[in-house]
């Protein structure tokens, strides 16, 4: 699935347009950059939801036989914990990279 690159590209375009609007047009200065950066995450979330619901919804396999409180839900949690930890580290690294680029700017 191409959700990552589509979400990132949408975030870049949305961030650029918000920077142009808030920083240059409305002359908000650093506050405008903060608002634009915060709104990027909103834009990426909306883009990901639209992509999932409109493009790949028919390709997702739905399993109605797995319930919230069943043995299948709590068995073999190793792969899920690994994915969660990797996602957490990516989130932390993303914020560190954001702070490094902010200091560089």
Instruction: In whole angstroms, give the CA distance from residue 82 to residue 87.
Output: 9
Tokens of 20: 């142009």
> In total, how many domains does the chain have?
2
Q: Is 44:26 a contact under the CB 8 Å cutoff?
A: no
Query: Which structural domain, as residue segments, surrounds residue 46?
Result: 1-59
3 shares its domain with 33: yes
44/47 Cα distance (integer angstroms)? 5
| Statement: residue 42 has pLDDT above 60 | yes
pTM comes to 0.51
Same domain, 52 and 13: yes
40 and 88 co-located in one domain: no
Confidence of residue 25 (pLDDT cuts 50, 70, 90): very high
Domain assignment of residue 70, yes or no: no
């Amino acid at each position: 699935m191409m959700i990552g690159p589509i979400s990132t590209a949408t975030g870049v375009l949305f961030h650029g347009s918000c920077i142009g609007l808030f920083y240059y047009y409305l002359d908000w200065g650093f506050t405008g950059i903060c608002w634009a950066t915060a709104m990027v995450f909103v834009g990426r979330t909306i883009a990901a939801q639209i992509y999932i619901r409109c493009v790949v919804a028919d390709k997702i396999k739905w399993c109605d036989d797995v319930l919230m409180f069943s043995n299948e839900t709590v068995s073999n949690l190793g792969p899920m914990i690994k994915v969660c930890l990797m996602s957490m580290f990516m989130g932390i690294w993303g914020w560190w990279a954001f702070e490094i680029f902010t200091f560089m700017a």
